[in-house]
Structure formats: C-alpha cells, structure tokens
Amino acid sequence: DSHVEQFRSFVSSGEPAGRKLDFLAQEMLREANTIGSKAGDATIARDVIEIKSAVDRIKEQVQNVV
C-alpha cells in the first residue's frame, strides 16, 4: 500500500515526477519478484505474474511523464 500511496502522491503533486515514478515502479517489480521467489504456491505465482505485467504497463506510461 505504501508504494501505491507514494505513487499517487507523486502524480498529484504537480511537480515533475517521471524519474521518481520510474524508480517507484522498479521497486514494485522488485517487491513482486521477492514475493514470487518466496511463494511456493501456483496461485500466488500467477498473481505475481499479473502484478508484474501491470507494473510493466505502468513503467511504459511513466516514460511519457516529465
């Protein structure tokens, strides 16, 4: 939740936030990878793939933010 809250805060600040958002998205990917490597459950592994896919889409959008 804290990453999502930070993301929202950066977006709504009105200041240039592209690099911050990119860094934060990278942190989200690291968190997802950590969860995936520690999970021994197929359902969690599928969820991690969905999370990583969503964060990748976010990273693509962040590239267009100043």
Q: Which tens digits make up the pLDDT trace of 9-21?
A: 998 998 988 899 9
Q: Which domain holds residue 24?
A: 2-62
CA distances from 21 to 15, 31, 34, 36, 50 (A): 12, 15, 20, 22, 19
Q: What's the domain count of the chain?
A: 1
What's the CA gap between 57 and 66, in Å, rounded? 17
Residue 66's pLDDT is 62
User: Average pLDDT, stretch 16-34?
Assistant: 93
